[in-house]
Structure 1
Amino acid sequence: MLDALRRHLASGASLDSLSESFSVFVHEALKGDLAEVDARLLLWRDSLAHHPLNGLEEENLLRARLDQHRVAREFVAWAEHKLEVRSLTKRTRDTSTIVHGASPLAVQGAGLEAESLGLVASPSLHMPFGTTDQAQVAQIAEHFQRAWNHPTATVAVREDFFEAARALYENRAPESLYLRILTSLFSDFVDESGEETERRSLTGFYDTEVWKKLYKFQRDGVLGAIEKLERHNGCIIADSVGLGKTFEALAVIKYYELRNDRVLVLAPKRLRENWTLYRANDARNPLVADRFNFDVLNHTDLSREAGMSGDIDLAHLAWGNYDLVVIDESHNFRNNPQRDDRTTRYERMMNAVIKSGVRTKVLMLSATPVNTRLADLRNQVLFATEGDDRALAREGVKDIGQTLRQAQTRFNAWQKIPDEQRTAK
């Protein structure tokens, strides 16, 4: 169709097109023939909102040439003097292009879109019909003229159209480029987070005392942790000391308690009282209004078969009935040595709590999740996958063991580099 347009535009005086979209790369392909041609472009309804002027997905190879600035600038220089633009306010399925002049041509089924004209390959089936019969050309031209002049079916969009075209070559601040990259990379996460935010509001989560006491960066961390728990079944909050990991974890706990989930906190014995205070009807509890109801056990309780731990009878505890387990100082579970004489805490945690009973989500808290080697991290992450390395691959993570071994090798090599060279490396 491009070849046909070129032949007829050579002697054409004007061009009309009803198009689903428009691309500056169409002008690039025809610019020699359009130089002295007056044109009218009638776009489909909402075309500018949904179809960028630098092309659709199939024009990726044209954009990859990295000459968009030049292409867009040359288009605007021509269009400001030669092009009129309107947009439909009603829906249609028709497209057409008409060349007026000594050698008239009308094409139905092809607007000024790169795909329908054959400028780029298309996954869709395009079957445009071209005619040079003067009666048929006149009839198609009359239909276009009627739509163009309709008082309510079309609206002028010239200013919006040219603003979008100029945006393709105007200089942008580096910050805007960085924001564009982040938006592209994390658009799925942002969209899903928005849906989750709306659902969470129905639980009253944003009205809780613990949520109100969080700083902005802590709220971001909480929402990110909940999203990862929902998607991957596990998360490590590894903020530095003093940034409020405990309050972030309490907010996550409250979210799941509002969903009627059962929560267990495992903490070192010296930190047990820090957690039990937030459950107590005690004047020292700043979150007393939230009425927390989670259980608290010591790390060492995983080695016991009976006895009392606070108000919990370990002999009759249903270990596998927890929907969420929060492990404070999770780096204490970084090693998983096998013992013949007894069950280790790591094995008890994995088998009795994680693998048995209901599907358990695991939130880990540690300022130092990697203490000695990167395998420390692997053993903690495995809690989220019930000890299955292959589950990490299903969650989009490659062989974590191999990845960590490679990273450890590179880190060891880096440590051997003299100090004066290390910064560059």
Structure 2
Amino acid sequence: MTASSGGLRQYLTQSGQCSDPWGRYYTSAEISRSLIERIEARKPKLVLELGSGAGSLCMAAANRWRDAQLVTVDVDLEAPKRLDVGHIGRDTKHIHFVHDALDEALSDKIGLCLGTVDVAVCNPPYIRPRWRCDFGKILEDAGLSGALASLRDAGADLLFLAQNLRLLRPNGKLGLILPDGLVTAERFSGVRKALMRQHKLEQVIQLPRGVFKNTEAQTYLAVLSKMAGETEQVKVRQMKHGGCLSAAIEVPQDLGAKRLDYSFHARPSVQAREGTVQPITIGAAVTNVVRGTICSSAIAAFPEPVFHLGDFAESAGQQAARIVPKRFALGKRSATIASNHARLALPGDILLARVGRKLERHLALVVHGPCVISDCIFALRTTDEHRERLYRFFESEAGRLALATSAHGVAARFLSKTNLLEIEF
């Protein structure tokens, strides 16, 4: 409504719907070559790929470093057949092992001593393995056990990263394809900080969505040198669909610990957008942020109407306000009863979507009365001084860009309260 003006399989708990049973999205030849080209290693003797899958990364590595010994590991019994089809092994020194890449004793099982690999490349699966006690040892050996609030937050991406670090020699190179979480999520800020303090994180490249078949997951290329000195600045770039790269942005360590995605750091500053207008953060402009508690599956059974993602109206431009329809407004008695079982948005609150692929386009103003909001909605409570300016900001292209680049997530994007409050307008 608008108103004018005013092996490993047994340990898995889940995998992606469009991935294979091990949660893998296979790397294209173009992305594989792009990652290998960005690893500065002239003549490595030993190159390793854990979770080799269809062999795209190891084929690219074999083409570049023809004299290197190539070692691949994958739990999938079909992996050797895929590697043979890809001609890995013809004119290449290649050994493949069918084994769980997250075995804490992997080095003994495949005959490689810890700290001996010159170059490691990896596209980890997008899964959360069922926790095993030896995962803690892998994280500890890699210097990452203290970087997490809970060790059980570690998914396969972080565990594969840690396992590669264990096997790499000092100054060895690691090239990874990473999901959005390790690059942008708040809960992994400690991991990013630990990696930059212990290693030289050379570059992070944000890939276009859709580069992996059957998924819109946001992914990144990352290259680091093990124990090659502390990272003072990280080069972040963006790759276009045609393969060309943006100019690099130098991100200092403190900001890199916060986030490492190009889209976030390339966002124009408020000063550049507004000229002489003094910027403030959303956190300074709001008195409270209320997140709804009714999940989507419980909406139909709730006795009062619940404002949810599908109830946001389309934008009618800067001159019109999008208002929550009257049918969601509760009377005084109904609001009192509903407040015992749900969280309410109050008149004057600005509603934003907390989750969704296009969350930045969802905006509404509560006018007619209190309403129940779902757990996919944030209600921003602010003063008369800031309400109109804040609403107009969210309705603007600059505001939508700020919300879009502050959100993160592998496929389904979400906006955290912390990231929301840090936005300047």
For normalisation by structure 2, the TM-score amounts to 0.31
Bigger relative contact order, structure 1 or 2, given CA contacts below 8 A and separation 6+? 2
Question: 1 or 2, which has the higher strand percentage?
Answer: 2
Question: 1 or 2, which has the higher helix percentage?
Answer: 1
